[in-house]
Structure 1
Amino acid sequence: MPILVIGIDIISEETKRFAVVSWFNGRLIKNGEFTFYRLVRFIRAKQPDIVATDNIYELGEYLRKFIRALPQGTKIVQVTGRPGEQKSLWSLAKEHGIKVVDKFNPYEEAKVCALLAVKGIGHEVLAFEDEVVIKVSRGRSQGKGGWSQDRYRRRVHNLIQNKVREIEETLKRANIPFDLEIKEKDQGLERGEFRVYASREELAGLIKPMKGGDIEVRIRPVEKKTFEFVPLKSESAIRERKSIIVGLDPGITVGIAALDLNGEVLTSYSERNMAVSDIVRFISEIGHPIIIATDVNPAPGLVEKISRSFKAMLFVPRESLKVEEKNELLRNLGISVEDDHQRDALAAAYKAYLRLKPKLDHIEAKLKELGITQKGEEIKALVIQGYNLGEAILKVKEREKPREEVKHVEEKEVYVDLTPYMEKIKELETTVELLERENQELRVMIEKQRKIIENLKNKLATYDEKIREKILRSKEFEIKEKRIIHLEKELREAKAIIEKLSSDLVLAKRMHLLELRGSAVPIKVIENLTWKEIEELERSTGIKKDDVLYVVNPAGAGKSLAEHLVEKRIKALISAKTLPNLVYEVLKENRIPILYESEIEVKRVDDFAIVDRKELEKAIKDKIKVWEKEEKEREIQEFLRLVEEYRIERIKELKKKSEEGH
């Protein structure tokens, strides 16, 4: 896929100004000079995949603010490496074949940063933990008031409770681990705070922030105390750290086990209440995981998350491992563990190793044949990640070439004779002197050309007026022609709207005629069954006794709203979708019929709708009869239950008396 990379470099320190260069689909674009806030707006508008720089700490006091402002999914990359291990930007450019014209030009530095990031060079700066805080609270101040204000407050606390439950269900369905703290108030919730063990990217599309209404949902990622720097490519991690197979047993107590690619056990560990960031840090200290394994099928959400964070393969057994199989695997390893969590993690890792062992043995044998066993672990890791054996060997050899070349040059430099180089330096000094003279001559020529250009500009300013008029006239014609095309388009769109309105008008007239004849009943349309739309309807046309309401989407309704409709004594409610249980029960209890579109035909034009009077009356009667029949059946069942209970009790009493008589 094409990616957008933005390279930046500092131009001015006092009032921070940046040189910005973009790379997209093989093209470099010089975007110009930006202030800090304009740069932030530019990045948020473009939403690049990577923002690359040679040193993030050049941003100074703006650094945290800059990272917080980055759009979701945009990485910030320090191309020179992690602090303490940084390489020169220009040495990296030379190493990767990037041509540099002027080392003192900030735009040139920004360009090199962008091109290095495109090649996967550098370390991504991780500023946030894989944890997010979601806070649900009141959206606006309650202010002062009496009974109506208390009612509004209770309604808001009920809305907060519903929203907290909705978020909780969403996280459970997505198998995302979390902790929840709540503060109860008025048989509802005053506040709910989730601590979700997932990144912002994993929550994208699941939970959205809310502002400006009765309730507010804020999503805030948890910042790391210190920045972490991770390689931009997983292959660099393979080169730097030992490749390992990790078994993971999630839960309140987390079990972690690690094997190397020879099946040797490196560690077996367990700990209670281990945070996601602690798990990642623990594994990183052992090595670079190329496989994350679990002992159950399907894989738990936390195991999938850890696998994605390391860009490692996920191993899931065909079916969940049984306790006997786990114990057998540990006996084969000859290892004893402290608890069941370590056992499950180690069994998962060893099961994954056994699945890969034939492939690993085959690679080992091939490497022995070729005589390149020294880099065996790195080649195995690349093959497991998806490369074929030839590609993996070639990749490792290519990485070794620059080192070999450097060593070769260093060995030669010991025996170099400096005399030819001294002569070359003198020759170059002479060339520089000649170039300086040529430069002076060229400056004189430039001055002459500048004067010629000035004269030509003056002549152009006094050019024949008629020619200029012709040019202006042709441009005017062009503008008018474009205007005609635009107006024709608008006319076509207007005709389409008129046709639509005409057909709606004909239908509305027919509906109105039916209403006047008394054969149709007008109904009031509500798009969403919420307090906001009920209040708007009451302000505009009002809700009166014996009104019939038509609801398109009843999903947002609750018990209090249903009670409000009962107070209004409406005649019936027609819904396009299934009503929430609470609303249905309240209306049914108060004998307000609930009809669905499958039971009665609704004819609608925008906010106006009607139903056939006879059809409505019949549907209402049928609904009431159904409810009465259900109620009678319940009463009969209740009566039979009471008779049965009385019969059982009477039998017990008679038995007791007979026993006492004997």
Structure 2
Amino acid sequence: MRNSYLIVGLDPGTTTGLAVLDINGKLLLLRSYRQIRLSKLRSIINSLGTPLIISSDRSSPPQSVIKFAQVMKAELYYPKSEPSVSIKDRIVSHYISDKGVKIYDDHQRDALYSAVKAYQHYRESFIETEETVDKLLKKFRKEIIDEIKARVVRGEPPASAFNSVLKGRRETATKDMLEVFRKAVASAKRSRERCEQQLKEALEEIKLLKRKLAERPHDKIIIQRGSELSEKERGTIRKLKLEVEKLRNELSLMEGKPPEGYLALKPLGKLTSSTLSLAIKDEYITKGCVIYASKVEGSPERLAEILEKHGVSALVLDKVDGPIRLSFEKYGIAVLLSDELELEWRRGIPLVQSRLFRKLMKKEERQILEVYKEMLREIAEEVSEY
């Protein structure tokens, strides 16, 4: 039972409503508790399985629910708009209609509503996942069974052989991901080398042209004033200078040096534990850098802890909700939106104007300060209770 993943609906207060579903939407527990301690609540939930989602029926979840989700290292779900009592009654009544379950108070109803809504929110993704896994199992079934049979013939017990084959598959998948990442890095290095060679050739061509001009009579006048150069020669010099400037800019970008007045971000795709681990292993993440990601997947608190440990100063996202932003701000990681920064892309690298970035960072730093003040107030209140 402990390995089951859970969807937990929570309605906090003097009386706390608790509803627990498994990941397939089956009701495991529906209770209300008066003045229950959080430690006791955690113990009850952990006895049923591993909490995957903590849900609230409020569009602005109470701080106690947000904190509880963070403590349980679970995803937080809440509705976009505040549901009416009639909507809650209708959804809960429909859910329990064939289950013989009785609702004893509003706390149980609200907790069950939030758990059911969370399940409904992810249901399509769950179905799609099941279909994908079924297809993959069918595709690799014979191959996996043959590997297990071969191990059994060599004297390994079937259960042990099964676990060994699955472990090998996971390791292969991880190696494949690393290989893709390393190929991307190698490709970038080759592009940089080509750029350096082109820059070298352009500079050599300029030197050669200047030497030829210097060999002419009155070379000093020609070089200094340029008035006696032919139109073709002046055009060649202008073209080469522009090419040199372009190559220097491209080379600077590859070396992580943005054009003057700009800041280069470190694009990471989705911010997950795996992409972050790979980036850190390949020394892509450096102290003081700013990461750009389309969205966050996984435990925001765990990701924020890793970013803080490696000195990341800010995180730029395409979209973010309040609880996720709060998780990063508590670790001193500023969170900015890409739309506000007006990103410019050059050679696959997102750039932002330094002046605009500093302006938005000051605003975000004030917000982080308020978060810290609130945390201190909460600590002071907890201490005063003792």
TM-score, scaled to structure 2: 0.35
| Structure with more contact order per residue of length (Cα contacts < 8 Å, sep ≥ 6) | 2
When you count helix as a share of all residues, which structure comes out higher?
2
When you count strand as a share of all residues, which structure comes out higher?
1
| Higher Rg of the two aligned structures | 1
